[in-house]
Every structure is written in structure tokens, then in C-alpha cells.
A and B are shown apart, each in its own frame.
Chain A
């Protein structure tokens, strides 16, 4: 089960993800993140993975999909603080992070 906590600031929106991100969880996370993007229209969306304990390729789809959505709105996305298990998946998908 995954959870998400949003921290908005001027022009930016940070989404702190936690728990297990699989295909089941990604569907709800996608809806929640997109709703926040639509209402706040941030220039920068930051996805923070520090609390994520498991992620399969559904998480990669979640990141790529949100990246494309932010680009279509003229914004951008960054990924930060992935734990080791998440880093392995990001490296496989060639997604950069800070």
C-alpha cells in the first residue's frame, strides 16, 4: 500500500511518496498527483521516493507519465531521494535522479 503527501510552494509542488508502489497503487497515485497538478499548475513537480519500500516497473510508468504531463503543460519533473531498491529500477529505466 502506498501513501502520498503533497507540499506546495511558490511555483513548485513536492509529492512525498511512501510504501509499496505497484500497478495497483500506481493507479490511485496517478489520479491524486494529476489532480494536484491540475489545481496548482506548478512549474516544477518533485517526486520524493525516500519513503518507498518497494517499486516495480509500474512506478517507472508513473514517473514517465507524470513527466510527459508536466512537459505538455510547459513544466518539468524531478525525482529525488530514491532508496537502493528504487534506484535499481530507475537505473534500468535510465531515469535520472538527485
Chain B
């Protein structure tokens, strides 16, 4: 499977950068000519991953978030969101729908459920004290 193009950018874990990450990713994906629903799905999943970094990975500090997006010949999009924050002690627990360590009055606990629902594949690896890497993939089907 041959990679056609790749972009990588790093930004501070400030909430104002959630919109930047979505916009930058959209600009990169435009070359693959995704449908409106496909682009909406990917933007939503990435927004969840980036928000997790801002809310959970760096709860009392500002750190770096790195987003890598790659396009492959067969229409596959692979996106990796990486932080060097506090990590997740129990990834399986964190991925349960409605589970959140954030403020339960304001956080729905649906971040990973959304990523899994809107992307074809989601893989999370984390080391407490070292950080978390979320890798997501989606195939852009040919337009009918």
C-alpha cells in the first residue's frame, strides 16, 4: 500500500486549537476529494481525539499535541494523534461509552465511542506518565 502524501503538525493543548486542527486537516484531505459526510466523520473523530489530549492528557498544564495524517493510494486515510501527557492507566475502561474522568456534568464520556463509530479502525496505546497515541483509519469509498 503506497503512501501518496503525509502531513504532520504539532500545537499547544489549548482548546482554541481544536478548531485549528480540524481546519488544517480538512485542507489536507481536500486533495482526496472526500464526500461531505466522510469529511464530517473524520473531522468529528479528530476533534474528539484532540479534545481528549486537552482535557485529559494535560489536565493542569499546557503540552504538545502532534497530529499526523497520511493518504494512501487505495483511498485510505490514516490519522495519528499523539500527546506526552499523563497517559491512561486502563485503556479498555477509558473506551467504555459514558465513562469519563472529566466533569460528569459537562462531559458526555462519548469521545472514544464517537471515534469508533465514525472511523473504520481506532487503536489506542498509552503509557501512564509517558503519553497516549490514538491511531484511526478510514477508507474513502469511491463516489457513486
Please give the residue numbers on chain A whose beta carbons come within 8 Å of chain B beta carbons, in ascending order.
1, 20, 22-24, 26-27, 30, 54-58, 60-62, 64-65, 68, 84-85, 89, 92-93
> Once the chains are docked, how many angstroms separate the CA of A82 from the CA of B18?
22
Given contacts A57-B114, A60-B110, contact A22 B40 (CB under 8 A): no
Known: A23-B18, A23-B55, A61-B106. 13 other contacts (CB 8 A): A20-B19, A22-B51, A24-B15, A26-B106, A27-B15, A58-B108, A61-B107, A65-B105, A85-B40, A89-B114, A92-B113, A92-B117, A93-B110
Closest B residue to A85 by beta carbon equals B40
Which of chain B's residues have a CB closer than 8 A to the CB of A22? 15, 18-19, 22, 47, 51
Known: A22-B18, A23-B15, A24-B15. A57 touches B106 (CB 8 A): no
Contact residue among B37, B43, B114 (Cβ-Cβ distance under 8 Å from A92): B114
Chain B interface SS verdict (over half)? helix
Q: Which residues on B sit within 8 Å (CB–CB) of A92?
A: 110, 113-114, 117
A98, chain B: closest CB distance, angstroms: 21
Tell me the minimal C-beta distance from B109 to chain A in angstroms. Answer: 8
Q: Are A89 and B44 in contact (CB under 8 A)?
A: yes
Residues on B with C-beta less than 8 A from A23 are 15, 18, 47, 51, 54-55
B16 and chain A: residue at smallest CB distance? A24
A89–B37 CA distance with the chains assembled, in angstroms: 13
A57 to B51, CA, bound (A): 10
Residues of B near A58 (CB, < 8 A) are: 51, 107-108
List residues of B (45-62) whose CB comes within 8 Å of A's CBs.
Answer: 47-48, 51, 54-55
